[in-house]
Structure 1
Amino acid sequence: MDLEREPKIEPIACDSENDSEEVGSEVMDGIRLCDSVVDFEEVRSFDNFIILANGLIINSELSEYYQKKYYDLCCTQNSYLHDHLLEGFNCELVCGIISETINIAEAIRAAEVTTPLHSFETWNSTLKCFQGLGMKVGFLSARLAQLINLSLKPNRYRDVLFREAADAPW
């Protein structure tokens, strides 16, 4: 086992009074233990946004880009989306689920009617798996369902036109 790659885990206080100082500097140095759970309602800004998994602060395992995007997604739902993930997942898995959720959310946001249906199907099956693991992604699944319906409408219209053209007497 490569000991240089193992994160240093040191206990720190993570109550809301010292969040802005801790998150801004020390948390970025590695995974840290957290003494208390911070409810999302206590998060006032990105500066005191702490991502916990199994009592560990894992912000440093995600790039700032993913932290900000995750913060934005959590704000839309007024809760940590990963709060109900099954217990015992390692930090890398939790970070992977969060990262992929953000990737899918970004893809959904950028999707157009011409986006291939297999992309929608892949995103949908991934979101279903994440939901089964406890990730709060129902709002993304609902938006994806709307996109799928919109993307299928032109195909239905085209199919009707083709059938009418095939049935035409000329």
Structure 2
Amino acid sequence: MTNYDESQIIVIDGELTKEEALEKMAMLLEEKKYVKNTYLNAILEREETYPTGIDTEGINVAIPHCDIANVNEAALCVGVLKHPIEFAKMDDPDTNIKVSMIIMMALTEPHGHIEMLRKIIALIQDQEVLSEIIKTDSPKTIYDLTKDKLL
């Protein structure tokens, strides 16, 4: 089972770089002991080689993750960006898109990301829900809007 609750939601209102946003999220997972201290570097390295930006032709999302060797316990961290950040597209690494939401996965099963990706795709296909998510500053509201799809 993947750990996910409203304490794992970050609303980022400042203008950050992609690396700074990923660091904030990874550090939250590390503070909660879900991931090892190698997780952040693994996320940053993987993002360079295998970008995770998904162009929805609406509210774009990034889904960073890394090898299970960097994870203690399965968890998600959701970041809502009040100022979208550029990520390279998953299917076209030479093209950048503006991302408003990051769903960071920390998984412990070798192929666990496939099932979790299905859940995330179902969430991001619902642009009405994503619109509500990025309009709010409340982690509880974001959690309430996402929990049924992500858990």
Q: Give me the TM-score of the superposition, normalised by structure 1.
A: 0.29
Q: Return the index of the structure with the highest Cα Rg.
A: 1
Question: Which is richer in helix?
Answer: 1
Specify which structure has the higher proportion of strand: 2
Q: Scaled by the length of structure 2, what TM-score is found?
A: 0.31
